[in-house]
Amino acid sequence: MTQTTAFHAPRIFDGSHWHDDAALLVADGRVVQILPRADAPDGVQIDGMLVPGLIDLQANGGGGILFNNGLTADAIGTICRAHAGFGTTSVMVTLITDTQDSTAKAIAAGQIAARTSGFLGLHLEGPHLDPARKGTHDPALIRTMDADDLEILIGAAAQFDHLICTIAPESVSVDQVTALRQAGATISLGHTGCDFATALAYADAGATMVTHLFNAMGQMEHRAPNLVGAALDDGRLWAGLIADGYHVADAPMRAALRAKAGPAGMFLVSDTMSTIGSDLTGFTLNGREIFRADGRLTLADGTLAGADIALIDALRYVHQTLGFSLETVLNLCALAPAQAMGIADRGHLRPGAHADFFCLTPAITAAGTWIGGTKIKVQG
């Protein structure tokens, strides 16, 4: 007989509506329904708001582990547990530009970790980028996609339910994008100086996403809209945004969030490195030292090197600093990334959804996380 567990809370957000003084019923790792508390069986008492678990499509590390530096299933588990402590229940663990051998090891680790709680899939950010828009990526490792690279990625797409490949048109052809999309990969344009027409051509070929809007790409000008303009104007392209107060100024973030043409929308990402859930003051990436100070991660020359936030920190920033409603921002961190990946049963708490949720405090922090209805023991 299937056991049903009721989670009682003062408020529950199902992704569309708030339910006051209610209970979330869960069975077999799925949401059954939300009932008034008086109509529900006894169960677990939650002192706070229950909201859908956050979905981070770009997390390079956590818990003291940078995925590039620990290409194992255990490293993936550590990263996912670290993020669960901040209410993130699904993570696309991200490999930053590295060697072909490291990419193969990352894919192998992901295959072993397939059933790891909180692991959604792999995001391969590079190495097929524009060297002129490298950001913190090692220019010595950036390269044009060749037949071997394409074969590896097509094979990876067959092994994972979810795989994101961030690529630049300067290093990847339209035909290669079409082949990857047909294999099941999600193609994201990023670290590129491509113009508006090129971005649309790659969307025609199957690209559906833009990696960290505004950062490492051509900006929108009045006669040259470039990739930023394509991302905002084309309803086929979902756009990720790093909302830490450093990567993008407040005004363009507000403008982008209000202006994005649909049906594809915006979503928030952390772009976090190894520091989240740890007391690290620095680490190395491809042999280069990264410094942590004042909420920022930088190379020695001051170049931003990922972010020092969890996704809930971006949620809090967009809600409290940029002034967007809590409902809007919860969806930017849960429902929107699920939709961007074509996942219908995550990012909300309607009947049939994965029972992935967390307790949100009035201070916009996480006070307990459940994945598949099971409370996650976080590290630390």
Radius of gyration of the chain (CA): 20
Are 34 and 152 part of one and the same domain?
A: no
Q: Which among 281, 178, 167 is positioned nearest to 216, based on CA atoms? A: 167
257 and 276 co-located in one domain: yes
Establish if 380 belongs to a structural domain. Answer: no
Side chain identity at 136, as an amino acid letter? T
Domain count within the chain: 2
What is the C-alpha separation between 195 and 202, in angstroms, rounded? 11
pLDDT confidence of residue 279: 84
**What's the CATH code of the domain at 24?**
2.30.40.10
348-367 tens-digit pLDDT:
999 999 999 999 999 999 99
Q: Which two tokens stand for residue 83?
A: 């993020």
Report the binding-site residues for Zn(2+): 125, 191, 212
Do 318 and 358 lie in one domain? The reply is: no
User: Which among 14, 56, 244, 271 is annotated as catalytic?
Assistant: 271
> Among the residues of the chain, which ranges form H helices?
73-84, 100-112, 147-159, 174-183, 196-205, 226-233, 250-259, 311-316, 326-333, 335-340
**Residue 36 shares a structural domain with residue 63:** no
Q: Is 12 a member of any domain?
A: yes
Q: Let me know if residue 362 belongs to a domain.
A: yes
Question: Do residues 118 and 221 both lie within one domain?
Answer: yes
**310 with 164, same domain?**
yes
Closest CA to 306 of 350, 271, 268: 271
In 3D, which of 134, 217, 141, 205 has the Cα closest to residue 176? 205
The pLDDT score that the predictor gives to residue 196 is: 98
In-domain check, residue 133: yes
| 31 and 93 part of one domain | no
Flag whether 43 is in a domain: yes
Its domain, for residue 136, covers 54-340
CB–CB of 172/145 below 8 Å? Answer: yes
Q: How far is CA 116 from CA 90, 92, 284, 374, in A?
A: 10, 12, 26, 13
Which residues are annotated as part of the binding site for substrate?
A: 136, 215-216, 223, 247, 304-306
Residue 379 lies in a domain: no
Q: How does strand 163-167 pair with strand 186-189?
A: parallel
> Which tokens belong to 376?
């996650």
Tell me if residue 271 is catalytic: yes
Predicted confidence at residue 1, as pLDDT, reads: 56
DSSP state of 136: T
Residues 244, 272 contacting (CB under 8 angstroms): no
For tokens 């193609």, name the residue. 187
344 burial class (0-12, 13-18, 19+ CB within 10 angstroms)?
exposed
Q: Is residue 266 classed exposed, middle or buried when 0-12, 13-18 and 19+ CB atoms within 10 A define those classes?
A: buried
Cα separations (Å) of 278 from 65, 69, 181, 268, 356?
Answer: 9, 16, 36, 22, 24
Q: Specify whether 116 is located in the same domain as 227.
A: yes
Which pLDDT tens digits describe the chain residue by residue (380 residues)? Answer: 589 999 999 999 999 999 999 999 999 999 999 999 999 999 999 999 999 999 999 999 999 999 999 999 999 999 999 999 999 999 999 999 999 999 999 999 999 999 999 999 999 999 999 999 998 899 999 999 999 999 999 999 999 999 999 999 999 999 999 999 999 999 999 999 999 999 999 999 999 999 999 999 999 999 999 999 999 999 999 999 999 999 999 999 999 999 999 999 999 999 998 888 888 888 888 888 888 888 888 888 888 888 889 999 999 999 999 999 999 999 999 999 999 999 999 999 999 999 999 999 999 999 999 999 999 987 65
Domain match, 240 and 168 both: yes
Residues 62 and 29 in one domain: no
One domain, residues 114 and 212? yes
CATH number at residue 322: 3.20.20.140
Q: Based on the fold, state whether residues 235 and 284 are members of the same structural domain.
A: yes
SS (H, E, C) 256-269: HHHHCCCCCCEEEE
Alpha-carbon distance 367 to 377, whole Å?
Answer: 12
Would you state the pLDDT for residue 60? 95
